[in-house]
Structure 1
Amino acid sequence: MSEFDLSTREGRWKHFGSVDPIKGNKPTSKEKMTDLQSTNKDFLFEIEEVGIKNLIYPVNIDRFQTAGNFSFSTSLNQDEKGINMSRILESVEKHYNHGIELDFDALYQVLRILQESMNQSSAGVDVSGKWFYDRYSPQTDIKAVGHADVTYGLAIKDDNVTRKELTIEAAVTTLCPCSKEISEYSAHNQRGIVTVKAYIDKDAELSDDYKSVILDAMEANASSVLYPILKRPDEKRVTERAYENPRFVEDLIRLIAADLVELDWLEGFDIECRNEESIHQHDAFAKLKHRK
């Protein structure tokens, strides 16, 4: 027989080992609590970045709401012990409107508020999310929703932008040129994962479709684009186009680079293509870096 009243939640908790809170002697109001983070003395070094990672928060990318994975940081002066991390979330909340608009202008405003609330000269953010867009089948023109992964990177010092980056990761089809060359018929093909990290001119005006411009360079140069919906005429076109445009990973990143180098609003880019090989147990990959 329990000594506690098992008909109540509190009684059942104590039956399973819960105990009453202790009566402490430390203050319970914020005004009376010691603020260790605001301690000022010589702490030996300035810190370039301190903040939080893996903050999941709603974002809006174009017409779609999705989840963003944020990393926020600020600098920290040598005479300050730590930052007040709750102010990071408070800065984000000030821009909430059914999600934060995931673009460079909105992120800049968040960083300016964060910079001011932390009383620091520098602030930065990296945020990843799923970018959704309309994708039409190549022959029957049926609309469906496609997707790619995007990561925005932005950093400021005082009121100047010091880092402005956009990374896009998307899947494509690659068909092996060697297989096509040596086989009497057919050729092996596979899914290729293409990643472009674009270093954007900090002073350039970006068009509304700048993400689509980069994505087009990644997809159009592959053997084939991937589609959410394919009817038989679409499948015929996709497989024939892949056969007409064989690509090694080396071919693909060079062709993408040839398109990206013509964009005057890019200062440079990193490209990687990784093929999930259909006839090997390993993947094939190639990387290329270019700075103007």
Structure 2
Amino acid sequence: MIDVQNQEDHRNINIDKVGVKNIRYPLTVMDRENDFQHTVATINMYVNLPRKFKGTHMSRFIEILNEFYGHLDIREFSKILGAMQKRLEAQSAHLEIAFPYFIEKKSPVTETTGLMEYGCRVIGSMDHRKGYDLIVEVNVPITTVCPCSREISNYGAHNQRGMARLAVRYKKFVWIEDLIRVVEEAASCEVYSLLKRPDEKYVTERGYENPKFVEDVVRDIAAQLKPDPNILWFQVDVENFESIHNHSAYAFIERSKANP
């Protein structure tokens, strides 16, 4: 049969990324407490396309993914990317895997156990010139209490939920749980999936005693990561879904050890 994708294209334009998006796929993730956990990932796979080719071979992406079924984890990323480069005759390959990660978490007073969900993402790339790159990202729900509101009010202060996103490059393996912990410790208070009344009292008072702007949260996270020799680069941003304003509050920091 005629291979249309391999026919030459006359426009003489390289394509940076071409491939498949939003593949739903079973995934086994390393879990510090239970060795591993099963989840479902959304996967994007891309390669570059030289100007001489009309198109790429979409089915080969799925074939490669299926070859790693059952042992698709962060330690296999370089192998998957290498297979994509070889099979699709590409200089660069990109792989993005997003998945929900669940942690059993006890409430602060009654120690009632509930499951907390965290959105995670692993982004890998391999390039003949730039080499191998890997980023791990966690999205962590938090609560914050406004320092300004607390300062100017006779009683009470407005508080809100927020979302903190932390992405890192590292030398040695890092646990998802450790990245989540760094974020949660920087918030006014953590978010829990299950709270009894004594827990609600604690959470409310803890937040009031520990007010934070979004600027405070990103700076506190950065202060924890900057001296860590294992972290080569990080991005952190926080968005507060304000409870008394018709907008969100936002802060962002990006740092690398080469650019402190």
2:33 paired with 1:73: no
The equivalent of 2:27 in structure 1 is 59
SS at match of 1:101: coil
Which among 176, 182, 192 is matched to residue 146 of structure 2? Answer: 176
Question: Are the aligned partners of 1:42 and 1:80 in contact in 2 as well (CA < 8 Å)?
Answer: no
The equivalent of 1:35 in structure 2 is 3
The equivalent of 1:107 in structure 2 is 77
Deviation at 1:135, TM superposition (A): 1.1
Question: Are the aligned partners of 1:122 and 1:155 in contact in 2 as well (CA < 8 Å)?
Answer: yes
Stretch deviating more after TM superposition (33-42 or 280-289): 33-42
User: Deviations 1:177-233 (Å, cap 9, x if unpaired)?
Assistant: 1111122221111101111222x14xx2214x2x22221111111010001111222
The equivalent of 1:96 in structure 2 is 69
2:143 paired with 1:163: no
Compared with structure 1, are the counterparts of its residues 138 and 80 closer, same or farther at alpha carbon in structure 2 (3 Å cutoff)? same
- Matched residue type, 1:101: L
Deviation at 1:146, TM superposition (A): 0.8
TM-score (norm 2): 0.89
The equivalent of 1:197 in structure 2 is 167
- Rg larger for: 1
Compared with structure 1, are the counterparts of its residues 161 and 130 closer, same or farther at alpha carbon in structure 2 (3 Å cutoff)? farther
Compared with structure 1, are the counterparts of its residues 141 and 251 closer, same or farther at alpha carbon in structure 2 (3 Å cutoff)? same
- Aligned equivalents of 2:22, 2:98: Cα separation in 1: 10
Give ranges in structure 2 of 5+ residues lacking alignment. Answer: 31-35
Q: Counterparts in 2 of 1:1-292, with a 5 A limit?
A: 33-40=1-8, 44-62=12-30, 63-97=36-70, 101-103=72-74, 105-158=75-128, 161-198=131-168, 200-201=169-170, 204-207=171-174, 209=175, 211-292=176-257
Deviation at 1:43, TM superposition (A): 5.9
- Matched residue type, 2:46: S
Task: Identify the structure with bigger relative contact order (alpha carbons < 8 Å, sequence gap 6+).
Answer: 2
CA RMSD of aligned residues (A): 2.0
Stretch deviating more after TM superposition (153-162 or 175-184): 153-162
User: Deviations 1:40-62 (Å, cap 9, x if unpaired)?
Assistant: 57762443322112222222223
User: Deviations 1:266-288 (Å, cap 9, x if unpaired)?
Assistant: 22222211111112222211222
- Aligned equivalents of 1:275, 1:41: Cα separation in 2: 48
- Matched residue type, 2:172: E
- Aligned equivalents of 2:239, 2:90: Cα separation in 1: 40
Higher percent of residues as strand: 2
Deviation at 1:163, TM superposition (A): 2.4
Question: Are the aligned partners of 1:50 and 1:76 in contact in 2 as well (CA < 8 Å)?
Answer: yes
TM-score (norm 1): 0.80
- Aligned equivalents of 2:129, 2:81: Cα separation in 1: 10
SS at match of 1:124: strand
Deviation at 1:159, TM superposition (A): 10
Stretch deviating more after TM superposition (39-48 or 123-132): 39-48
Question: Are the aligned partners of 2:237 and 2:250 in contact in 1 as well (CA < 8 Å)?
Answer: yes
